[in-house]
Amino acid sequence: MPRPIGIFDSGLGGLTVVRAVRRRLPAEPIVYFGDTARVPYGIKSSRTVTRFAAEACAFLCRHDPKFLVAACNTASATALPDLADRFDVPLCGVIEPGAEAAARTYGGRPIGVIATEATVASGAYCRAIHRLAPDAEVIQKACPLLVPIVEEGRTGADPIVRAVLAEYLEPLVRAGVGTVVLGCTHYPLLVDAIAACLGPEVTLIDSAETVAERVAGRLAADGLLAPEAEARGPVQFFVSDNPDRFREVGGRFLGEPAEPVTLVPSEEVAAAADATVEKAP
């Protein structure tokens, strides 16, 4: 079997990345790990998030991945340099690709970033955008209710969702943003309501799509793409808790049933990290 792409997230959100990768690279096998025993990462310290992310990567490395994706904005914002040091597999997060796409659209109007508390506090999007568009004004807005709103199954048709979005997006609209980055993998499920709230003049950057593009480009450059095939590549899901909830809620993120799902208790995930032979210095 060709080597899989390994994708991890704190929970369900990374399934929007799986969906985008599968749409662009249907033949690729994928192994996904969702750390549902310790979700969410967005309110935790960078030290803790880095440890959890390293454990997730060590677990995925048991499947000999050819590429790793941190499909979690919080982990991408805080843990990526540490993961790149520690693992001998090419990897990317979700922030750089989204920030690059935002910088490419930059035409003088401010760039908005909506994300979790931890991603905003890290300032990672601002830094990544400023590397490419040093003059851009970046306006960040933490939107802590959007993850639980999506997980509860609410959609953009819900008046509560519309009221919450109007409140969160008001400072971006007032500042006249030209582009808004969806800086959390849950937000693509509300993309239509967000677009309606911002108006047709604003370009939305969906980081799931930009990551899929990045993965495809890197695999092609390294000659690592799976051979084209009629059948879609297999996907395996692993979670550290509550596989039933993952199956039930995950389908909405993935656009198809999230199966098969295997439970891997977090003790076992931690043990994978202990057993990892780290990259030679």
72 annotated active-site: yes
Contact 86, 278 (CB under 8 A): yes
Pairing of strands 91-92, 5-9: unpaired
Q: Please pick, among 72, 126, 143, 197, the residue that the annotation labels catalytic.
A: 72
| Of residues 23-52, those binding a copy of itself (CB under 8 A) | 36-39, 43-45, 48
Amino acid (one-letter) located at 199 = G
Interaction between residue 186 and a copy of itself (CB under 8 A)? no
Is 197 a known active-site residue?
A: no
Closest CA to 31 of 224, 226, 235: 235
Helices (H), the chain: 15-24, 46-61, 73-78, 80-86, 95-105, 117-122, 124-132, 146-151, 159-175, 191-198, 207-221, 243-254, 266-275
Binding-residue total with a copy of itself (CB under 8 A): 25
221 is an interface residue for a copy of itself by CB under 8 A = no
For a copy of itself, which is the closer residue by CB, 67 or 238? 238
Question: Residue from 82, 137, 241, 259 that binds a copy of itself (CB under 8 A)?
Answer: 241
94 vs 264, which CB is nearer to a copy of itself?
Answer: 264
For residue 80, how many other CB atoms are within 10 A of its CB? 20
167 lines the binding site for a copy of itself (CB under 8 A): yes
Counting contacts by CB under 8 A, is residue 222 touching a copy of itself? Answer: no
For the chain, how far is it from start to end, CA to CA, in angstroms?
Answer: 30
Measured CA to CA, the distance from residue 33 to residue 183 in angstroms comes to 20
Window 124-153: residues binding a copy of itself (CB under 8 A):
144-145, 147-149, 151-152
- Give me the residues that bind a copy of itself (CB under 8 A), please: 36-39, 43-45, 48, 144-145, 147-149, 151-152, 159-160, 163-164, 167, 241-242, 245, 265-266
Enumerate the active-site residues.
72, 184
